[in-house]
Amino acid sequence: MNVIDHVRDMAAAGLHSNVRIISSLLLTMSTNNPELFSPSQKYQLLVYHADAIFHDKEYRNAACKYNMALQQKKVLSKTTKVRPSSTGGTTSALQAQFCQLCVHQLQNLPSEIEVKYKIAECYTILKLDKDAISVLEGIPSRQRTPKINMMLANLYRKAGQERSAVTSYKEVLRQCPLALDAIIGLLSLSVKGAEVASMTMDVIQSIPNLDWLSVWIKAHAFTHGGDNQRAINTICSLEKKSLLRDNVDLLVTLADVYFRAGDTKNSILKFEQAQMLDPYLIKGMDVYGYLMAREGHLEDVEVLGGRLFNISDQHAEPWVISGFYSKRYSRALYLGAKAIQLNSNSVQALLLKGVALRNMGRVQEAIIHFREAMRLAPCRLDCYEGLIDCYLASNGVREAMGMANNIYKTLGANAQTLTILATVCLEDPLTQEKAKTLLDKALAQRPDYIKAVVKKAELLSREQKYEEGIALLRNTLANQSDCVLHRMLGDFLVAVNDYQEAMDQYSIALSLDPNDQKSLEGMQKMEKEESPTDATVELDGDDMEGSGEEGDLEGSDSEAVQWADQEQWFGMQ
């Protein structure tokens, strides 16, 4: 047993720090005395040394050492090539024995394909996706393992090379028919559910208790096709089966589809159910945090963010959640960027950063982030809503109308798409009637859809139809409680001089969201009108008490006051 064998055994035992030290010393010895180790031994040392550096997360250094190992492998390959001898007999026999020995040595060496995969892994972590693709494409197709094809598929998809991504995902499924993430990848690239299911049919029929898989594929096909209601029904049918009841992944998927369908109540319910089953759950918690923040439960969101940081700070979710309760746009921008650094495919992180940029007036940068979110999640309407808000903020009504019409035609006439189109129509005085018709259709489909109710109430307020607006809001609030709806009802009641109930509605709104600036302003305005003298004295006293802190408030960030209005952040207009 030689020293290289000892290094190999330590590497296999996971003694990475030890391997790094001894391999470094042995490589230096080899440099000073080239004949000390054979070419194959030098190759092994370089690979083990690179593995130890990779384990220390020094990915650029590791990639360099892996490339040095590949260069050494080329030298080794040349030395094992033996020219056939023109003389026969004993010399030929010796050459044959030598060739067999060389082949045996090569078979026992670290795999060159595995080394290339490690290099690609380093490049991926370093965000050098083109270099990673180049390395993996250098591996002949027949020699690509499932994990190589999976990495290639994900890289192709990220680069927008959808056809190549589909080919690679299919190759993964050919080798591993139960690779469910590859199935999701294919469905997200618009491959038909029936085609994907056919690739798993043999394994479903040959293995007992796998009959649910075809239904699972169908559910995800509906999800990625934007048919949320059928996706919900299909997942619910799976979740009710005794063998799959209380599966966390299914519950998170169901919660996400409820969210896409605009059903906040059921989405939160399913996320909470999943959390109870798995207290260490991270997946989907960014969406859950967003919904909780939109409902005004910022203290709960802060607790959730702290808990997730304790679980892992190497995922995007806790950073995104921290952005939801940040009081400054610049802070939210930083947190969104950090989340994207950890996971460039995090849709919620892109939306967080996009909203922060939009509210800071950096609309063109925001548009880039919303477009990327749309590319990653083409069936998530909140991505489109963010982009439309950017267009409207920059007076691009024509662009917003084009986008809204495209969503309407692509995803069909449901309550959400109708409301989006109506929102844009409300911006043009010539399309007010069309907006009213669209909102009526949306509310006919879903009378409880809050965004449609809010927009209809805004329209009624413009037309000064206060009694009709009060009736609409009361009917909606009879089945659910929402800060914005209570505040809007307060505004309508003020318009008809019902001040006492208006004050009650503002109080309810503030109890649901203590940071709702507009409810606070409405209440303060009423208090001034009721008692102008007392209000003046009280304001003077407040000014005196706050005079010493005014500079600190300005120094912290003037945007903090704006950020307190949660509507700017969570898209409730």
How far is Cα 392 from Cα 400, in angstroms, rounded to an integer?
7
Structure confidence at residue 530 (pLDDT): 64
Q: Residue 175 burial (CB < 10 Å; 0-12/13-18/19+)?
A: middle
Alpha carbon separation from 37 to 34, 49, 75, 77, 485 (Å, rounded) = 7, 15, 13, 16, 78
Minimal CA–CA distance to 109: which of 187, 175, 48? 48
How far is Cα 3 from Cα 23, in angstroms, rounded to an integer?
10
Query: What is the 3-class SS of 327-354, one letter each residue?
Result: CCHHHHHHHHHHHHHHCCCCHHHHHHHH
pLDDT in tens, 40-74: 999 999 999 999 999 999 999 999 999 999 999 98
Structure confidence at residue 89 (pLDDT): 52
pLDDT in tens, 302-361: 999 999 999 999 999 999 999 988 878 999 999 999 999 999 999 999 999 999 999 999
- Other C-beta atoms closer than 10 Å to the C-beta of 117 total 21
The single residue listed with the structure tokens 């598929």 is 153
Task: Tokens for 160, please give them.
Answer: 């927008």
Structure confidence at residue 534 (pLDDT): 47
How far is Cα 431 from Cα 428, in angstroms, rounded to an integer?
6
Structure confidence at residue 90 (pLDDT): 53
Structure confidence at residue 53 (pLDDT): 97
Residues in the chain: 573
**Contact present, 290 and 324 (Cβ < 8 Å):** yes
Minimal CA–CA distance to 228: which of 188, 259, 249? 259
**Contact present, 381 and 417 (Cβ < 8 Å):** yes
Q: Which residues contact 310 (CB under 8 A, 6 or more apart)?
A: none
Minimal CA–CA distance to 9: which of 19, 23, 17? 19
- Dihedral (C-alpha) 485, 491, 497, 502: value to the nearest 10 degrees? 50
Task: Tokens for 156, please give them.
Answer: 């192709």
How far is Cα 28 from Cα 215, in angstroms, rounded to an integer?
59
In terms of phi and psi (left: phi > 0; alpha: psi -120 to 50; beta: otherwise), the region of 446 is beta
**Contact present, 437 and 413 (Cβ < 8 Å):** no
pLDDT band at residue 167 under the 50/70/90 scheme:
very high
pLDDT band at residue 531 under the 50/70/90 scheme:
low
Task: Tokens for 44, please give them.
Answer: 């092994």
Name all contacts of 427-435 with Cβ < 8 Å and 24+ positions apart: 427/392, 427/397, 427/400, 428/397, 428/401, 432/459, 432/462, 435/459
Alpha carbon separation from 66 to 44, 116, 467 (Å, rounded) = 11, 8, 74
Percentage, residues of the chain above pLDDT 90 = 63
Minimal CA–CA distance to 350: which of 296, 292, 287, 414? 287
Longest dimension (CA), the chain: 119
**Contact present, 305 and 320 (Cβ < 8 Å):** no
Q: Is 414 helix (H, G, I), strand (E, B) or coil?
A: coil
pLDDT exceeds 80 at position 258 = yes
Task: Tokens for 489, please give them.
Answer: 């009802």
**Contact present, 512 and 481 (Cβ < 8 Å):** yes
* Percentages of the chain per state (helix, strand, coil), in multiples of 5: 75, 0, 25
pLDDT exceeds 90 at position 365 = yes
- Mean pLDDT confidence for 512-531: 78
- Mean pLDDT confidence for 258-285: 94
pLDDT band at residue 294 under the 50/70/90 scheme:
confident
**Contact present, 290 and 332 (Cβ < 8 Å):** no
Structure confidence at residue 28 (pLDDT): 95
Alpha carbon separation from 34 to 41, 101, 320 (Å, rounded) = 11, 21, 53
pLDDT band at residue 429 under the 50/70/90 scheme:
confident
DSSP state, residue 142: G
The single residue listed with the structure tokens 């190549």 is 164
Q: Which helix (H) or strand (E) holds 22?
A: helix 16-32
pLDDT band at residue 527 under the 50/70/90 scheme:
confident
Q: Is 202 helix (H, G, I), strand (E, B) or coil?
A: helix
Task: Tokens for 451, please give them.
Answer: 């965004």
How far is Cα 433 from Cα 451, in angstroms, rounded to an integer?
18
Mean pLDDT of the chain: 86
Q: How far is CA 355 from the centre of its chain?
A: 15
pLDDT exceeds 80 at position 77 = no
How far is Cα 250 from Cα 283, in angstroms, rounded to an integer?
12
pLDDT exceeds 80 at position 289 = yes
Structure confidence at residue 297 (pLDDT): 84
- Mean pLDDT confidence for 214-228: 93
Structure confidence at residue 358 (pLDDT): 92
**Contact present, 424 and 401 (Cβ < 8 Å):** yes
How far is Cα 36 from Cα 41, in angstroms, rounded to an integer?
10
Q: How far apart are the first and last CA of the chain?
A: 74
Q: What are phi and psi of 38, to 5 degrees?
A: -75, 165
